[in-house]
Copies of this chain bind each other. A is one copy, B any other.
Amino acid sequence: MTSLGDKDSVQTENLFQGSWTQVSCPCCVSDRVEPLVLIRLSDKVQPITKKWLISLIEASQRHGGAALLAHPGEDECGDVIVVSAPRCTLLRATEDLGLCKKYRNGDMVAFSYQDRDNFSNVDDMQEFLTLAERQYIVKNELDSLQAQKKQRIPGVTEATGVLEAWGNVCQKLEKARLIKEILPLHDQQRLKDLGKTWYSQKQIWGQPIDAIHSYFGGTVAFYFSFLDFYIWALVPPALLGLVLTFLMPGGGSSGEAMKKQTTERVMGDDDGPSVSGHMVQAVFSMLWSTLFMEFWKRRSSSLSHRWGTLQLSEGFAEPRPGFHGTLGINPVTGRLEPLFPEWKRQLRVGLVSVPIVGLFMGLVVLGMTGFYHGEALAKGFHQDRGSWFSRALLYLPSVVHIVYTNMLGNVYSTVALQLTEWENHREESSFQNHHTTKVLLFSFFNNFAVLFHIAFYKQDLLLLRKRLASLLIVTQLVNQCTEVLVPFIVDCFLKATQKKQKEDDPEVDKLRAQSLPRFPGLFSEYIELLVQFGYLSLFSCVYPLTAVFLLINNVLEIRGDAYKICKLFRKPFSAPVSNMGVWQTAFEVLGFVSVISNCWLLLLSPRVQEFCLQGGISSKNILLFAILVEHVLILIKMVLAFMIPDEPDWVRIKREQMEFQSMQALGQQKL
């Protein structure tokens, strides 16, 4: 079935010794076949297994194949398969994904295969779909390869080599370690161009988000759009912080005293802003976090419209590869697929996952309590004895706590992944959201437990200020080093080794050289932003310079991240997405928590306490007042969030147009 000689119907670019498999439908014949995805096989794979896999990839979907184009690399025995996709497969998948594309009249319209000729650029796949979309489609088609009947994988004699009927082929091959990895290929020329407009040149303002979206896909593009938006949004709180720190409380002092005061303020050594400054900061923080998220939602929905992902139909597509259940007819789409009842999933989430996550958070608190307890014990012991042994013992609690936290974190990340797998989500986005939520809760708890402990249990605002200042200054410095400097040095090394192979190596080896470390996902980047946002909105009234440090950090961060994703990692697959998913919710929830936190911090602030004592107001009344303020602020926040529409008017009209058209179509189609 594989065609290894030169074919008249398909002309490859002659990059490789072998050639592409034949295109089955005449409309897809093209002069140029673009290598999109690389499958790396294990060394022990027999040629017959490879041949069988290639035949599966190129077989039509009617015959249980993926309807893609495959190329065996150097020769039949090599350990790679290069995969591409013919036009028809790409177009049909575009419809299945529910992507919107530019219609004849310039509108974004959900793509329909039957109506394909009315869409712009439909003859040029490289224009019609972005590189990220093409690669995702190939990955998706590979992922949905199913065995049509129970069979033995050719060339594999072991017990692991049996494919069940309706079993997922790629999952099985990966489990049996026949496929090492499936990765999208970089387009070096485009990557270079992208890098130029992104981080290399004097490009300081703005991000080339459309180019990022086209090359890296929606998830990455949304991250960078959000970071960009966030940097701009940080300007007002940074200005306010500067004003509150340097202009408001001082005034008369000058020279040495002024200098000293300034250093104290930056280092968090004085006792914070004045009462009115404190109030201003708390109210401002509430307004700012609300407006920030509401306007981001508007920006997000207009981006989603621009990128054609307003009408994604994930719910109607095939389930994600890891999904399992009893085979049955999907009541909505009428297709044969595994079914798993919703209530069962919810029971699993509610009765198992939630308690386990709670348990781990309890363990974090336990660890913290143990640490404080141990520290007190060690200190007491040292004061009693004062020997070198007791001095060494002083470090023990910290060491134990660090080891404990790390171990807990590792165990938790495994548990979170397995729990989410076990919850058995049908859609990839739902899986991602549940997984992210779990990890996020834990990371957040880990990051903020100590700060909350200092703020609300110890009620030591001076310590909180110091801690925040050191976190902001030290951690960010360390982060920047590890994120920007180290990668740069590594990259220089890489370049030196790459140059050597450049001249004489065959094309396939160049492809293989793309096997950089796997892209770890944007989780750590997002959590960094979220923790930042937490410092800013939860505790900023304690330390007004927070926004200034974050602004400086993020201007560096956005370039560091860009460099990292372009140069240091393997290109990630990226599903089309219509928003930031669960991260948006996380930022919104944090906004609500911040109102509560700010109100209570305000109450605890030494200046406010002093002010009350002077005014002769009882601490009970002040508490009641704080409760009132908290509830009013939350009410204002909710009214504001409700009043500002989540999408701009023009997006709403476009969306309603689509809904109206599909309603009308439903009426007419039934004829």
Contact = CB atoms under 8 A, between A and B. Distances in A.
Given A114-B670, A316-B663, A623-B624, A649 B342 contact: yes
A191 to B, nearest CB: 35
Given A95-B667, A667-B112, A316 B660 contact: yes
Given A596-B631, A653-B331, A118 B670 contact: yes
Nearest to A630: B627
Contacts of A332: 653, 656-657, 660
Nearest to A333: B660
A668 B350 CA distance: 41
B669 A669 contact: yes
A540 B110 CA distance: 53
Contact of A623 (B95, B315, B623, B663): B623
Nearest to A599: B627
Interface in A321-375: 331-333, 341-343, 346, 350
Nearest to A332: B656
Contacts of A112: 666-668, 670
Contacts of A667: 95, 110, 112-115
A643 B115 contact: no
Size range of the chain A interface in the assembly: 35 or more
A584 B661 CA distance: 30
Contact of A114 (B113, B341, B671): B671
B663 A663 contact: no
A620 interface: yes
Nearest to A110: B666
A665 interface: yes
Given A115-B670, A619-B620, A623-B623, A662 B665 contact: yes
A663 to B, nearest CB: 6
Contacts of A623: 620, 623-624
A313 interface: yes
A624 B668 CA distance: 63
A668 B666 contact: no
A664 B668 CA distance: 12
A217 interface: no
A670 B620 CA distance: 69
A591 interface: no
Contact of A110 (B343, B350, B645, B663): B663
Contact of A98 (B645, B652, B663): B663
Interface string A257-281: 0000000000000000000000000
A645 B623 CA distance: 37
Contacts of A659: 316
A430 to B, nearest CB: 14
Contacts of A671: 114-115
Contacts of A98: 663
Interface string A571-612: 000000000000000000000000010000000000000000
A643 B113 contact: no
Nearest to A114: B671
Interface string A306-327: 0000010101100000000000
> Which of A332, A346, A623, A643 is the most central at the interface, judged by chain B CB atoms within 10 Å of its CB?
A332
A332 B649 CA distance: 12
A450 to B, nearest CB: 19
Nearest to A652: B342
Given A333-B660, A669-B669, 8 more contacts: A98-B663, A110-B663, A114-B671, A316-B660, A341-B649, A596-B631, A627-B627, A668-B669
14 contacts: A98-B663, A110-B666, A112-B668, A112-B670, A114-B667, A114-B671, A115-B667, A313-B663, A316-B656, A316-B660, A333-B660, A342-B645, A350-B643, A665-B670
